[in-house]
Amino acid sequence: MLQKVQNKFHRYAAIIRETRNWPTYLAFKLGLHRGPLFTFHMRDGTSYTLEKRMIGPFRECFFDDQYFSRLDISVFPASPLILDIGANVGFSALYFLRLFPTATVHSFEPMPYLQARLQERKAAYPYYDWHLHPYGVWKEDGELELYTTHVNEFTSVSGLVRLHDTIHQVKVKVCALYSFLQASGIGRVDLLKLDCEGAEYGILFHLPDEAFDQIAHIALETHDTEEWKTRDMVEFLQRKGYEVAHETRRMTGNVWAKKEKHAWSNVCLSIPRAG
């Protein structure tokens, strides 16, 4: 409970610190200002207009800082190369590009509806070096069956794990991560981000050892499956030579891994999930 309160405090502190119209957002959240859309006006001059149902995933990336909260941003190059696996509608990529405006970001998203929304979002920011790939990443090239809550609507849940509300099954195109690295000629990955609803184990556990020599930092959300849990990912990455920090919740977790010898920006936590 204490950690949950602390997380809320940090989120709203970030909203106040990062946005110019935070009072309007609080009124919107309380239902005092109604409407299907809300626009966050950031203090750096950027703005992001969102449908109400997309605010949760946006907050996770921009205000909870879920991908850099245990990594030292100061050790990254000014123009890092970032792989964004499980791009959804592009919030994580936009956050990375806000931190590093001259970064190169490759975003992978297998769900057709989300691909279309991702294309729309990229078109609004044509000055970024942002590359979209309309397929998922997996342990091998081919096709994969995913479970999802919605086929032709926004969803933040599409993956290998069949949850109680993932009532639809969709066949999508996938590419092995190592195949992409070889075909693209990428030599160094400064950040590998994964949020792929259970596919993270197959992707990383089948990656050849030499690929890990190319990857400096990893940030991922883990999802418990019948076979694998967050602890299995932590131990795997430690065996690959990474220093690892992690948080665990009831069915998910977060893992941050780095090859460089730099201090963590915070400590590992174990956070109980409500419900």
**Rg of the chain in Å (alpha carbons):** 18
The string of pLDDT tens digits covering residues 147-204 is: 777 656 666 666 566 666 666 678 889 999 999 999 999 999 999 999 988 899 999 9
The CATH code of the domain at 66-262 is: 3.40.50.150
**In terms of Cα–Cα distance, which of 166, 159, 152 is closest to 85?**
159
pLDDT of residue 274: 32
Best CA proximity match to 63, nearest among 119, 122, 11, 113: 11
Which residues sit opposite 219 in a β-bridge? 193, 256
Residues carrying CATH 3.40.50.150, the chain = 66-262
pLDDT tens profile 107-119: 999 988 899 999 9
Distance CA 146, CA 197 (A): 9
Mean pLDDT for the chain? Answer: 88
Q: In whole angstroms, what is the distance from residue 70 CA to residue 75 CA?
A: 13
Return the pLDDT at 198: 85
pLDDT given at position 156: 60
pTM of the model: 0.88
pLDDT of residue 2 exceeding 90: no
Q: Band of the pLDDT at 31, cuts 50, 70, 90? A: confident
Query: What is the token pair recorded at 121?
Result: 């979002």
Give per-residue pLDDT as tens, 75-116: 999 999 999 999 999 999 999 999 999 999 999 999 888 999
Q: Where are the alpha helices (DSSP H) in the chain?
A: 2-18, 22-29, 55-62, 91-99, 112-123, 177-184, 200-205, 209-212, 230-239
